[in-house]
Structure 1
Amino acid sequence: MRRISTLIGILICLSLWACTSFRPVKVIDQKLLGVLPLYEGKVTYVDVQNLKGVSDVAMFRQARRWVAFHVRNPKDALEIGDFDTKDIIGSGGIDNMVITGKKGSFQYYAPEVSYTVTIECYPSMYRITYSSFYLYGNGMEKGKLPTDERRYAIESGTWATDENAKQHFIQIDEHVKRMGASLHDFIVENTATIE
């Protein structure tokens, strides 16, 4: 009887360890879990937008204004902005993303995300690139302190199950797309002809 309970205890420990161990993320259709796009093995988003009639100077000016409101450290990004090349480089971040377990019975905060954003302005077009995605820690149960504060590249692996990691990746993907749409709308609204 004692051996059976010991065996059951060992099996429970092994299954808990398997659920919380760091492991590789599956790549499906050149995307992490079919969600986050990969370029040369790294999560990278590139969005090129054409805005006819908008000069590179006007585009750069409005992109700088947008950065002041939308990146984690606007001062650093504005200092890195280069008027000669019309490039802006900054960092962004995402935190407080909540992942819900099966049947909604469990919630935890997903690891925080940081990334680099680069905006290159040209006559009548711009390119925005999101790259260098890093995760901090392995997440935490809501209301508890984080259990790990390490920083690691998002491509290197995950502590979560595929289902929970996919929820996290979908939230990251939605955030990046919202930011891109926000920049586009901001430039369009602020470079329109004033009558």
Structure 2
Amino acid sequence: MKKFFTLLLLSSLAGSCVPTFKMFEKDGKLLGVLPLVNGRVLYRETIQTPELPKEEVFRRARRWWVDNYRSAKDVFQLVDKDTGEIVGKGWGNVYTGKGLSLATHHIFHVISFDVSEDEYTVTVYGLQIENDITRQYFKSKNQTSAELPIERFNIGTVKYAQAIFTEIDQETRLTLKYLNGYIKKQNSTH
């Protein structure tokens, strides 16, 4: 009986609280938090690097992945020194709530890094979320993957989604800041 009510609650939450991301787009942001480009969450920054040769920027970017992911070999999807492109998939956690109600949300992402003369562009996209609620929901549908594109996240209240999105936004901006600082540091020892 308890299982029935849990499934009933999950199915009602999944379909009713946040019907579509378009309904909650505000100032080009999903729920007023995550940046949207053509209906997809996307972060993009172009950074000027006239003081660094293209090859050094590429090397530092590749090294950043190695230093920040457990297995860069598993993360890299594309590494092309000639075109200056690096694409990697990874994941991290964000947390909401406090104490016993602390919830962990796994956030999967793609980071694309394009180096050209005097600048590089870094893009974060393809965000997906997995947490206890998405795992239970997909399990009830007999699906093995519990990763949900962030634009389709519609479980819980708008306030709940905004809390998660705020944490995702802060972590993504912090990652970009750290990556950009890593690239620009003058005395790279690696």
Q: Report how far residue 173 of structure 1 moved.
A: 0.7
Identify which of 157, 164, 171 aligns with 2:167: 171
Q: Which amino acid aligns with 1:98?
A: Y
Q: Report how far residue 55 of structure 1 moved.
A: 1.0
Q: Which amino acid aligns with 1:115?
A: H
- State how 1:119-158 maps to structure 2 within 5 Å: 119-137=113-131, 139=133, 147-149=136-138, 150-158=146-154
The residue aligned with 1:9 is: none
Q: Report how far residue 148 of structure 1 moved.
A: 3.8
Given the two structures, how large is their TM-score scaled by the length of structure 1? 0.76
Q: Deviations over 1:50-84 (max 9, x none)?
A: 12221110000000000112246411444621011
Residues 192 and 20 of structure 1, relative CA distance in 2, 3 Å threshold: same
Q: Report how far residue 164 of structure 1 moved.
A: 1.3
Moved more, 75-84 or 85-94: 75-84
The residue aligned with 2:141 is: none
Moved more, 40-49 or 66-75: 66-75
The residue aligned with 1:161 is: 157
Are the equivalent residues in 2 in contact too, given 1:66–1:186 (CA < 8 A)? yes
Aligned identity (percent) is 24
Runs of 5+ consecutive residues of structure 2 not aligned to the other structure: 1-5, 139-145
- Give SS of 1:80's match: strand
Q: Report how far residue 131 of structure 1 moved.
A: 0.7
Are the equivalent residues in 1 in contact too, given 2:95–2:105 (CA < 8 A)? no
Are the equivalent residues in 2 in contact too, given 1:98–1:110 (CA < 8 A)? yes
The residue aligned with 1:115 is: 109
Runs of 4+ in 1 over 6 A off after TM superposition: none
Q: Which amino acid aligns with 1:172?
A: I
Point out the structure with max Rg over C-alpha.
1
Are the equivalent residues in 1 in contact too, given 2:112–2:122 (CA < 8 A)? yes
Given the two structures, how large is their TM-score scaled by the length of structure 2? 0.77
Residues 175 and 193 of structure 1, relative CA distance in 2, 3 Å threshold: closer
Residues 131 and 193 of structure 1, relative CA distance in 2, 3 Å threshold: closer
Q: Deviations over 1:102-142 (max 9, x none)?
A: xx6862425321111001111221110001111224548xx
